[in-house]
Amino acid sequence: MTEAKEVTDVRQEQLAEPLTDYPFARDSIIDPAPALARLREAAPIRKVRMAGGAEAWLVTRYRDVREVLNHPAFGTQYPGVLPAADENNLAAGFMFLKDPPEHTRLRRSVSRAFTARRIAELRERATEVTDDLVTAMLAEGGVVDVQEAFAYPLPIAIVSELLGIPAADRSRFRGWADVVLRSTGDFGTAFGDLQRFVVDLVAAKPDGGDLLSDLAQQSGEPDGLSRLEISSMAMGLLMAGYVTTASAIAHGLLRLFENPPVLHAVRTGAVPIGEVVEELLRLQDEEVGIQRIAQSDVDICGVRIASGETVIASRVGANRDPAEFTEADAIVPGARRSPHLAFGHGIHHCLGAALARMELTVALGTLFARIPGLRLAGPPHEVRWRAEGMDVSIERLPVTW
């Protein structure tokens, strides 16, 4: 039997199987549905039906997920589709929705401004903001919702610093961002207001040492970005760096609360907080996964994926793959492990990974250093959460000490 015939046969066998509904029904905030592990063990790839009725191929094993994310045959758009951004649709210009060569040019320009020096400067600011937020929590006392009092304010403050948003405008900026990214009001109006604000913000650059000012200064260079592209970049950084970081802080705290030995080690300084953060990132759950579109026919896991078909790369499936990680579901600080895929892999590996790591390290390190008795105020099953879109969101996380 030829290799092509074998691939065709495997595809037909998969298509003959009943479609699996995805995402899977879940009963945990921080851990994936058991069905994911069962599917990962049974088959490397499975055809699934999404909530809206669309079909996709789900890949769950570590090596296969890495292959999909690094394979040039997979892109972020349907073949032949090239969405164009304008001032009323900045989202069409998001770098993480672009494919080469456009993605290559955009990432090269932004990478020059996203320096280690800038991360170090933002770390100083993150430390100041974190200290202020903890001081406010201590002053409030009693039971505090750490989501509203800490997890959300920290990343939006750092995003504001990164983009060079004037202090007088930051309250409005956060208000719009909360509506757009946290579904707290009229999405359409807030999104329009936020886009206009970002376009005007970029038009006033350069006016300081922030990221947008650096990009504006480079805009006249051969591979510099236009003002519209910088505006899309700013919106993309907000989308990628606000709620996702807040969610990682809240999920990390809840996971530590449910792991007393690790929590004790963090409180006593027995393990470096950076090692704990890496494990929390590896175990971070997600509702769907990274979706990629085949730009041409391609063979993955012995199955022929047709051009235009969607493949979902499950990071949570990969990051808990027992074939790659010993004690895959446990927090093991300092373990010698393969690189986790929390920030993706390949050309779309998250540009802000170092920033996110820094914020998590500062946030958790400061919280437990200043409030060593920090604990969940009530049983874990009373924590309010919802699973929608790409994420599993903790709505309220009450703590005390």
Q: What are 86-139's pLDDT values in tens digits?
A: 888 898 889 988 999 999 999 998 888 788 899 999 999 999 999 999 999 999
Q: Which of 354, 361, 400 is nearest to 377 (CA)?
A: 400
Residue-wise pLDDT for 196-230, tens only, equals: 999 999 999 998 899 999 999 988 787 889 999 99
* CA 99 from centroid of its chain's CA atoms: 19
pLDDT at 13 exceeding the cut of 70: no
Q: Residue 165: what pLDDT?
A: 93
What is the dihedral angle through the alpha carbons of 351, 252, 28, 177, rounded to the nearest 10 degrees? -50
User: What's the confidence (pLDDT) of residue 10?
Assistant: 59
Quick one: which of 152, 198, 146 has its CA closest to 172? 198
> Residue 387 is inside which H or E element, if any?
strand 384-388
- Looking from the CA of 23 toward its CB, the CA atoms found within 13 Å total 22
Q: What are the phi and psi torsion angles at 298 (to 5°)? A: -150, 145
Using alpha carbons, list the distances in angstroms from residue 232 to 81, 88, 120, 171, 236. 18, 10, 25, 21, 6
pLDDT band at residue 1, thresholds of 50, 70 and 90? low
Contact (CB, 8 A) for 286 and 31: no
pLDDT of residue 2: 61
What average pLDDT score do residues 33-46 get? Answer: 94
pLDDT band at 8 (very low <50, low <70, confident <90, very high): low
Give ∠ CA 387-391-395 in degrees, rounded to 5: 60
Q: What pLDDT score does 359 carry?
A: 97
- Which residues lie across from 74 on neighbouring strands? 294
pLDDT band at 263 (very low <50, low <70, confident <90, very high): very high
Percent of the residues in the chain that have a pLDDT greater than 90, as a whole number: 71
For residue 52, what pLDDT is reported?
A: 84
Could you tell me which residues come within 8 angstroms of residue 36 by beta carbon, excluding any fewer than 6 positions away? 24, 60, 314, 316, 317
pLDDT tens digit sequence for 348-391: 999 999 999 999 999 999 999 999 999 999 998 889 888 765 67
d(C-alpha 172, C-alpha 71), whole Å: 41
The packing angle between helices 243-257 and 353-370, to 10°, is 40
Q: What is the pLDDT, as a whole number, of residue 384? A: 87
**Amino acid in position 237:** L
Q: Has residue 237 got a pLDDT over 80?
A: yes
Q: How far is CA 340 from each of CA 270, 281, 318, 344, rounded to the nearest angstrom?
A: 23, 8, 8, 8
Residue found under tokens 């993150």: 126
Q: What confidence score (pLDDT) does residue 239 get?
A: 82
Cα atoms in the Cβ-side hemisphere of radius 13 Å centred on 74: 26
- Write down the pLDDT at residue 96: 87
The model's pTM is 0.92
Residue 15's pLDDT is what? 59
124, with CB counted inside 10 A (0-12, 13-18, 19+), is exposed
